[in-house]
Amino acid sequence: MLSCRKLGYTCLFTIVNIMILQFTVYADNCNTARSSTRMATYPIESEVVTTIEKTVVPVPVPSNSPRLLPNDVSQYSRNGYGAWRAGAGLKPQKRLDIMTPSYTGTSVTKASNILRFFTMSDIHITDVQSPAQTIYFGLQGQAGMSSAYSAIIPYTTHVLDAALQTVNTLHKKQPVDFGIFLGDAINNTQLNELRWYIDVIDGRDINPNSDPRSSASTDYLRPYKAAGLDRTIPWYQVLGNHDHFWSGVYPPTERIKSTFVGGYVLNVGDVVKDRANIDRQGYYTGVVDGSTPYAKIISAGPEANFSTPPKVNANPDRRSVSRNDWMTELFNSESGPIGHGFSRDSITTGFACYTFEPRQGLPLKVIVLDDTEKDDGIFGKNATGASGSLDSARYNWLVRELDKGQAENKLMIVAAHVPIGIGSFMWDVDSSPAEKALIAKLHTYSNLILWISGHRHYNAVTALPSPDPVKHPEYGFWVVETASLRDFPQQFRLFDIVRNSDKTISIFTTNVDPAVKPGSPAAQSRSYGIAASQIFPADPGAPYLPSGAYNAELVKQLSAGMQIKIGSYKAPVRK
């Protein structure tokens, strides 16, 4: 301080400038710096469009670039990984798959708008300093799993923040009736992950640094103020497997629960090869060194490589939450509705299913179904905790709600985390009922229009036609999956349901890329998400590359009763 006084105004001017540079804030109308006393914010790009107007297309990695490992983050850019360009928009493809074979849809016009909502899924808010993540099992690139690690993980709160701001801007252009989050809000059942998730949606101050003995200077751990979802948009929540299972597939053992809040990095067997290894040791799972600009992974690898067990600074807020705890925390939110769909009884019983009707007077209800595995850890022969599953209690509840909606002449949407009818081993063979029987039952409800879900981390639209498509096409319905905000393509969906002039309805489903601003943490996350898709082996089932987007108009035949009911519905005038 003495030397500063001697230097006078010049020194003071220099200090102020350094402070400004260290706490740069993205402004709405400019990119100028602000005072360090103000919490950082990260507004999005001014141009907000859907993938109908413009897409995000990865730039291929140059053929002469070396193959990188996932944690070679500092080498991504210099070797051409993670770059993207603007691509052409995608007009919606008209799908008649569940209509009678003779239906053409020619000369059909839109009669009225019924409903507009958004879905987001698989956000996987991640505490990268937690001693109980499974980072090590994702570090091997072609032999690893991007679900265990990719360079995106320090930026999960920032992606959500940008996506919500994108929704807010679209809402100003055309009002959104509600939003629904389709599960896997958090990555590892941790309380602090769940608080970050809720607080980002609520627009509160976010401190992604979970190390209680450090102060963060890196962009991904620096405290900031989230923008939050527009308070006029109610949002609802679905339970996902990562929300109540360790790593998304295992009920946490007592040893793992103690590791969450303890001071040592988890030492566990190779759980990728054999789930029984959860009770063994052999590999330290690793953490992110939050002081490094590229989020260097430390304390990861075979136990034999370490002379002493690696340590972290313990944090009790990392504790693992049960599904009851998870629902309880949703009541600690400043946005609506209270509990975000769940009732107080849900907290007591752990029954994570409910219904809601999004617009007064509209004959439509949403049935929110928990189709994740039970917490007892007793899974089917070919299943893991990531499989879809029902038990008799949830199935009987679902049937009652479908029966009630059908009797009341209401259109129905089932919102669940795990999709159905996608032709893969996604469902537990010991589910009650089995997937085939479940679909057969769903085909008895003419008013069921949609099953919406996430879980697989990419967009897909699957038609499940009526067993009698010629005489009764109204018994068919659509399964629509929403991609993950964590992994490329990092998109959410808009749904617009409209009544047509020929007594059908059209469900327009449109992908949206968050409108990230160059230089922001959300823009960095997109680059890392693209890089991960270029490093890890491509999923052969992942459709709609290179942008990952798919926009469609899904046509559904209404029953005679619903034709009358929907035909008489008058949507309120929106200002």
**Tens digit of pLDDT for each residue in 317-360?**
999 999 999 999 999 999 999 999 999 999 999 999 999 999 99
Grade residue 16 by pLDDT with cuts at 50, 70 and 90. very low
Q: What is the pLDDT of residue 573?
A: 65
Tell me how far apart the alpha carbons of residues 333 and 74 are, in angstroms, rounded to a whole number.
Answer: 38
Average pLDDT over all residues of the chain: 91
pLDDT tens digits, 379-406: 776 677 899 999 999 999 999 999 999 9
Q: What is the pLDDT of residue 119?
A: 98
Q: What is the pLDDT of residue 382?
A: 65
CATH class belonging to 54-209+224-567: alpha beta
Statement: residue 189 has pLDDT above 80: yes
CA angle 197, 202, 208 (to 5 degrees): 40
Q: What is the pLDDT of residue 140?
A: 81
DSSP bridge partners of 113 = 498
Statement: residue 427 has pLDDT above 50: yes
Q: What is the pLDDT of residue 318?
A: 98
* The two three-digit tokens of residue 279, written as one number: 């009770």
Grade residue 549 by pLDDT with cuts at 50, 70 and 90. very high
Q: What is the pLDDT of residue 105?
A: 87
Tell me how far apart the alpha carbons of residues 3 and 400 are, in angstroms, rounded to a whole number.
Answer: 78
Among candidates 275, 248, 181, which has minimal Cα distance to 387? 248
Statement: residue 186 has pLDDT above 80: yes
Q: What is the pLDDT of residue 541?
A: 72
Q: What is the pLDDT of residue 543?
A: 79
Tell me how far apart the alpha carbons of residues 130 and 290 are, in angstroms, rounded to a whole number.
Answer: 11
3-state secondary structure of 124: coil
CB 453 within 8 A of CB 537: no
Q: What is the pLDDT of residue 11?
A: 40
Q: What is the pLDDT of residue 572?
A: 73
Tell me how far apart the alpha carbons of residues 189 and 247 are, in angstroms, rounded to a whole number.
Answer: 8
- What's the distance, Cα to Cα, between the start and end of the chain in Å? 58
CB 460 within 8 A of CB 536: no
Q: What is the pLDDT of residue 143?
A: 63
pLDDT tens digits, 161-178: 999 999 999 999 999 999
State the pTM of this model: 0.92
Grade residue 221 by pLDDT with cuts at 50, 70 and 90. very high
Residue 340: burial class (beta carbons within 10 Å; 0-12, 13-18, 19+): buried
pLDDT tens digits, 243-252: 999 999 989 9
CB 295 within 8 A of CB 289: yes
Statement: residue 540 has pLDDT above 80: no
Question: How does DSSP assign 15-30, residue by residue?
Answer: HHHHHHHHT----SS-
Order of strands, sheet of 552-557, starting from the edge strand that comes earlier in the sequence: 93-95, 552-557, 504-512, 492-500, 110-120, 178-181, 235-237
- Mean pLDDT confidence for 393-422: 97
Task: Measure Cα distances from 202 to 44, 51, 195, 205, 327 in Å.
Answer: 17, 26, 10, 9, 16
Q: What is the pLDDT of residue 574?
A: 61
Tell me how far apart the alpha carbons of residues 465 and 556 are, in angstroms, rounded to a whole number.
Answer: 10
Q: What is the pLDDT of residue 554?
A: 98
Pick the more confident residue, 377 or 121: 121
Pick the more confident residue, 567 or 152: 152
- Mean pLDDT confidence for 39-49: 96
Chain region(s) in the chain for CATH 3.60.21.10? 54-209+224-567
Pick the more confident residue, 537 or 219: 219
CA angle 169, 330, 388 (to 5 degrees): 90
Tell me how far apart the alpha carbons of residues 367 and 399 are, in angstroms, rounded to a whole number.
Answer: 10
Percent of the chain at pLDDT > 70 equals 92
Question: How does DSSP assign 495-512, residue by residue?
Answer: EEEEEETTSEEEEEEEEE
Tell me how far apart the alpha carbons of residues 197 and 206 are, in angstroms, rounded to a whole number.
Answer: 9
Q: What is the pLDDT of residue 575?
A: 56
Pick the more confident residue, 377 or 354: 354
Tell me how far apart the alpha carbons of residues 553 and 332 are, in angstroms, rounded to a whole number.
Answer: 38
* The two three-digit tokens of residue 455, written as one number: 């879980």
Statement: residue 21 has pLDDT above 50: no
